[in-house]
Structure 1
């Protein structure tokens, strides 16, 4: 009876959300997936036009084994702000695919694609994790498209990064400053690689080698001879599986990690392979995700199976002279009713971030609004200013679009409810929600004046 009531509650929430879509969103594209996706990432802008831009999008396809798992490169048409009509935004069918999302290439992946990360220094290169100890590096332009049919051999990665002694399933990051890759795994270690020399040689060898994936060039996804990369460093300090890792956005030597031991650890490769700071009980349960603020380097977010997001100031982790005490979070954000799976800072505004969870919600927060709400009692937790309720099961991943900062892509495992394998949504909340209050009031006043003049 409890499950049936919960199911009813989800459908009720979804119906209410759908009726409010034209009011809440400037644009929304709903795309039903054939197979569930565990990761989604924006790639480079491909084409710019008057009313919309075309941009690359990376997706995973997690199949049931009847066909191979794949890494998908798609092109997405993103409608510019204030271009889509409210009628168009409201007219989507949750059981159909969006005409705005078009698959352009399929790479047969050796195992499930658990995580995808693009390389900031070269927009043709992505790193992926699967259920193995290795990190796989792909030149997505160099790789040929492959048909995922039963019995097809896996595409050959351009590089394989080795160093883990057990599976490295989810913890994966690339560095904004240098072509470095960071990974964490079940072996409780954090591993760092430099692929600087290798990506240079990939470009030089592009015309000289056989196409990866062509006959005889791929054996169970193994890379060609000489394409194995050894680690630059292995960092030990966790007591359980490392679930997520992230670089300091302004340093290739500083990074952080979280894990199933409930710890948040800060590292500096220049100081050796031991932690420079460790929060022993950063949450009350396993930690699933971490992100480092690109616009305020002191702030780090963590998300956990205890349903909360916590914000830490790294100065209180490394000094001890802060009033809150070493290891204490600056704030605990309580707005989810299930485990938080993904957190990410906005690329555009230092105080804004998103969190996605197993409760099917993707919450947008502004920590600058915490403590500034006045004395009025609110039904919402401090800092929460938007809830995306378009998914009907756990939201496994999302990504802010750096090229179009308030546009977000998100994926969920709600295939049973949509007649497919899952749902991908690309959406942008209406700008009246996030623009400065004085601008919004002035604009609404102009609308009021216009309406009054029309009615007179």
Structure 2
């Protein structure tokens, strides 16, 4: 039974947050989900218009078994900066579904969708993890939309990546440089695949899609044809479940992993299957997540069940296990589940946790606060408190860098299966102070005349 005081504080925090939404946000869309979603990812931009853009969004639906689990492809209308009306931002209903989010296709997934990762080399291909040893590859354009009714057979994956000897449920990444896929699992292994040749064959075979239920269809994620891909490499070094993996953003051969053994490991496929650097005690508890900075390749973030985020410089990591974090970020009161760098700001990142908070940090502000005492941890500059239970996933939008999608398991409080929120903080918060003052100064005479 949850502590009543804690429950009350969450509701109090949420009520206060709602009152501040028109002040803190440039845009916010709240979408009550039918079923909980464990993963959310932005896809490609579909259409560009004057006041808003349409963009693809990938979601999972984790059902209770009365209907099949699904991979959902939705189209989202993203309102451009300073376009949303204040009344729209202020008046949303936790139990409603946003008109900005429209489901366009449903793929019946063999098992729960634990992770979704998009392939940057082909906008139509995503990889998914479920409770099995395999990684499933889907061409979302090629896949037919399916009605998730009781007894429906699972959709057939376009490719199945094999190589794990036990379930690989969460650790999943795709490479920005090459069509490579990386996975980690309960077998303590990190597995690497190349699907380069298979992408071209998928495109050539566009018209040869078999109907669901025909020979070669997936049964528990398996097929009987040539769509199975063997690994390029299997990497051993962890002593417990691998919980997350990430590529070096500028290399298809370098990657990192974290696990329940509290280790952060760096790998280089060109150097064999052993670690090139291993931090034995990266945190004081299990590690849940890791991300590699796309704008400063030396910086790596880790998030843990010890409620902290740590930043490491890979240049200070050695194969002997030596490595101290540059900084420890302490602002969550529960396990950190997801960390991600901003796609365009070198020192900005987000962190989501079981405390229901999604924090935005700026490492560049650490140590620059002067002598004034602050009630907030160094580097923390925005707290998104729109979720009322653990935030299981979020994703920065590379096409609109300050827009974020986040999902939480707060279905009991919203009368639904959880909450999807798409939001963008007001730009006065993150822009340089002198730039903001200069802009406000342009309106000084108008503001003074209004107040007189």
Fold match, TM over 0.5?
A: yes
Tell me how far apart the structure 2 counterparts of residues 280 and 437 of structure 1 sit (CA, whole Å).
41
Q: Secondary structure at the match of 1:21?
A: helix
Deviations 1:143-187 (A, max 9, x none): 000000000000000000000000000000000000000000000
Q: Secondary structure at the match of 2:211?
A: coil
Deviations 1:270-310 (A, max 9, x none): 00000000000000000000000000000000000000000
Deviations 1:315-339 (A, max 9, x none): 0004899xxxx31000000000000
Aligned in 2, Cα 1:91/1:215: closer, same or farther, shift over 3 Å? farther
Q: Is the 8 A contact 1:117 1:174 kept in 2?
A: yes
Aligned in 2, Cα 1:151/1:367: closer, same or farther, shift over 3 Å? same
C-alpha RMSD of the superposition: 1.5
Tell me how far apart the structure 1 counterparts of residues 331 and 230 of structure 2 sit (CA, whole Å).
42
Give 1:218 deviation, angstroms. Answer: 4.4
Tell me how far apart the structure 1 counterparts of residues 236 and 216 of structure 2 sit (CA, whole Å).
39
Aligned in 2, Cα 1:185/1:91: closer, same or farther, shift over 3 Å? same
Structure 1 unmatched runs, 5+: none
Deviations 1:222-271 (A, max 9, x none): 33500000000000000000000000000000000000000000000000
Aligned in 2, Cα 1:70/1:292: closer, same or farther, shift over 3 Å? same
Q: Secondary structure at the match of 2:371?
A: coil
Q: Secondary structure at the match of 2:404?
A: strand
Tell me how far apart the structure 2 counterparts of residues 448 and 292 of structure 1 sit (CA, whole Å).
43
Tell me how far apart the structure 2 counterparts of residues 79 and 310 of structure 1 sit (CA, whole Å).
34
Tell me how far apart the structure 2 counterparts of residues 2 and 31 of structure 1 sit (CA, whole Å).
25
Aligned in 2, Cα 1:182/1:113: closer, same or farther, shift over 3 Å? same
Q: Is the 8 A contact 1:61 1:71 kept in 2?
A: yes
Aligned in 2, Cα 1:455/1:356: closer, same or farther, shift over 3 Å? closer
Tell me how far apart the structure 2 counterparts of residues 218 and 38 of structure 1 sit (CA, whole Å).
22
- Partner in structure 1 of residue 272 of structure 2: 272
Aligned in 2, Cα 1:319/1:121: closer, same or farther, shift over 3 Å? same
Q: Is the 8 A contact 1:157 1:212 kept in 2?
A: no
Aligned in 2, Cα 1:448/1:172: closer, same or farther, shift over 3 Å? same
Tell me how far apart the structure 1 counterparts of residues 385 and 9 of structure 2 sit (CA, whole Å).
12
Aligned residue pairs: how many?
Answer: 452
Q: Secondary structure at the match of 2:124?
A: strand
Deviations 1:117-157 (A, max 9, x none): 00000010000000000000000000000000000000000
Q: Secondary structure at the match of 1:408?
A: strand
Q: Is the 8 A contact 1:158 1:223 kept in 2?
A: no
Tell me how far apart the structure 2 counterparts of residues 172 and 393 of structure 1 sit (CA, whole Å).
24
Tell me how far apart the structure 1 counterparts of residues 423 and 432 of structure 2 sit (CA, whole Å).
20
Q: Is the 8 A contact 2:278 2:320 kept in 1?
A: no
Q: Is the 8 A contact 1:33 1:420 kept in 2?
A: yes
Structure 2 unmatched runs, 5+: none
Q: Is the 8 A contact 1:167 1:186 kept in 2?
A: yes
Q: Is the 8 A contact 2:216 2:225 kept in 1?
A: no
Q: Secondary structure at the match of 1:364?
A: strand
Aligned in 2, Cα 1:73/1:372: closer, same or farther, shift over 3 Å? same
Q: Is the 8 A contact 1:246 1:257 kept in 2?
A: yes
Give 1:446 deviation, angstroms. Answer: 1.9
Tell me how far apart the structure 2 counterparts of residues 212 and 299 of structure 1 sit (CA, whole Å).
45
Aligned in 2, Cα 1:21/1:450: closer, same or farther, shift over 3 Å? same
Q: Secondary structure at the match of 2:4?
A: helix
- Partner in structure 1 of residue 366 of structure 2: 370
Tell me how far apart the structure 2 counterparts of residues 422 and 2 of structure 1 sit (CA, whole Å).
18
Tell me how far apart the structure 2 counterparts of residues 216 and 344 of structure 1 sit (CA, whole Å).
38
